[in-house]
Amino acid sequence: MTYSADLRDSRNLMSEPFIPPTDNPPPPAPEPPPVGALPTARPNGLTPNFDIIPTPIRSRIAMTISCTDADELPRVSNAGEVIDGPSGPVQVMHNGVLVEDGCYYGVLTGEIIRCLRGIHEPQEELAFSIIMKRLAETRSATQAPTMIELGSFWAYYSLWFLNDFPDGNSICLEPDAHHLEVGKRNFAINGRTGTFINAAIGIGGGSVRGFVTETNPNPVDLPSHDLESLLATCEIEKVDVLLSDIQGGEVPLLIRASERLRRGAVRFLIVSTHDLSITGSATTHQQVLDILLWSGAHIIAEHSVSESFSGDGLIVASFDPRDRDMKINISHNRSRNALFGEWEPRAESYRLQLLEANETLERIRSMLPFRIRRKFLNVWNALRS
């Protein structure tokens, strides 16, 4: 299902917070491709230390550090290094922002940051750097810029924003209480202040029951926000940068936000889109593109999940006429090398599963008495229609 001509009606269908179904979960993601030859040194002669990296994630690291998009970004002299911080070891990002060592998925991201000297997502960080540059060139002389990060976790992009705009307003929303604390600690390490909200994306002013976070297997009840309620709660009229990485909630979020986006509540929007194994839909990236275009967005850069050198798809858009000239050229990975692999083998696997399920159904139907079978077929046809 896409959201283009019928978006105005389909928005009304999203009356409940989005929680991925548990009774019919999406199929698991495929295993990562095998590790080939070691990647070439990047970009200062560094290669991953595979001796400390578990085998399942080696190919993920090699794939990401093969991307050259962010090679030309300025770097502080010790970018990527782990140094002593005030309360423990910290890793230095390319712009001098400090983060707790291993705070963002441990050795996986830590080795990427080390090898790329302070970069962890080359495609997105190239785009973010250009957005920051444009914002600096065109910001209001009297009003501090505002950034909202949805699914903030370690809050790195918010810290980057404040690094470039020390007078800026930063709002971080994160449903995982443990992740939220990681972001708070990183803010403290850098001497920054911001607004931290422990909530999920859903109906504004409502709640989400039974939310399972990455670090807590026990379902919790959380307050929920959409863009409208978040702006009202934080008393904000306009957001300069809205960054969303909400693990499958991107389509409901943007459907509810479409009118505010159309009216210019957000200037720059950066959205991570996610794989079928996370969202339950194979067309999440395409749906997000449809919604944004319907809402009047100018697409500045984008790549799908299968074109990512990291793991997520990416869409960068603006709703400000001043940015109609912007176009960011980013690399596109080959799907066979991407984290979730090519679609054709997955589609074939699903086709065979469906074929097997249909054969099982036919066997059951053939064993039923005629009258029961007729009732069964009537119910089946009604469900199909």
**Per residue in 254-299, pLDDT tens?**
999 999 999 999 999 999 999 999 999 999 999 999 999 999 999 9
Q: How far is CA 232 from the centre of its chain?
A: 24
Which 3 state secondary structure label does DSSP give 42?
A: strand
Q: Whole-angstrom distance between the N-terminal and C-terminal Cα of the chain?
A: 16
Q: Which of 227, 52, 238, 224 is nearest to 140 (CA)?
A: 238
**pLDDT of the residue at 40:** 56
Rounded Cα distance, 95 and 309, in Å: 21
**pLDDT of the residue at 346:** 84
Q: Which of 124, 113, 130 is nearest to 149 (CA)?
A: 124
The helix (H) or strand (E) run that includes residue 113 is helix 106-115
Q: Indicate if the pLDDT at residue 23 is higher than 60.
A: no
For residue 146, list its beta bridge partners.
169
Number of H-type helices and E-type strands within the chain: 12, 13
Rounded Cα distance, 305 and 300, in Å: 17
Phi, psi of 6 (to 5 degrees): -100, 15
- Whole-structure pTM value: 0.84
Q: Which of 254, 175, 298, 280 is nearest to 3 (CA)?
A: 254
Q: Give the Cβ contact number of residue 201 at 10 Å.
A: 28
Q: Indicate if the pLDDT at residue 12 is higher than 70.
A: no
Q: Are strands 313-318 and 239-244 parallel, antiparallel or unpaired?
A: unpaired
**pLDDT of the residue at 364:** 79
Q: Indicate if the pLDDT at residue 361 is higher than 50.
A: yes
DSSP state of 73: S
Q: Which of 166, 214, 206 is nearest to 190 (CA)?
A: 166
Q: pLDDT by residue (tens digit) across 41-92?
A: 565 668 889 899 999 899 999 999 999 999 999 999 999 999 999 899 999 9
**pLDDT of the residue at 7:** 33
Rounded Cα distance, 68 and 39, in Å: 12
Q: Are strands 266-273 and 239-244 parallel, antiparallel or unpaired?
A: parallel
Inter-CA distances, 379 with 231, 364, 367, 370, Å: 47, 15, 17, 14
For residue 220, list its beta bridge partners.
211
> Which residue type sits at 35?
V
> What is the DSSP track for 313-334?
EEEEEE-SGGGTT---------
> Is the Cα dihedral 274, 279, 283, 288 positive or negative?
negative
Q: Which of 40, 28, 119, 29 is nearest to 76 (CA)?
A: 119
Q: How far is CA 345 from the centre of its chain?
A: 24
Q: pLDDT by residue (tens digit) across 145-181?
A: 999 999 999 999 999 999 999 999 999 999 999 999 9
Q: How confident is the model at residue 379 (pLDDT cuts 50, 70, 90)?
A: confident
Q: Give the Cβ contact number of residue 196 at 10 Å.
A: 18
**pLDDT of the residue at 363:** 84
DSSP state of 190: T
**What length does the chain have?**
385
Contacts of 347 (CB under 8 A, 6+ apart): none
Strand order in the sheet with 200-201: 200-201, 220-225, 206-211
At residue 101's C-alpha, the angle toward residues 81 and 51, to 5°, is 75
Rounded Cα distance, 8 and 359, in Å: 40
CB 266 within 8 A of CB 319: yes
Average pLDDT score, the chain: 88
Strand order in the sheet with 98-100: 82-85, 88-92, 98-100
Q: pLDDT by residue (tens digit) across 184-207?
A: 999 999 999 999 999 999 998 889
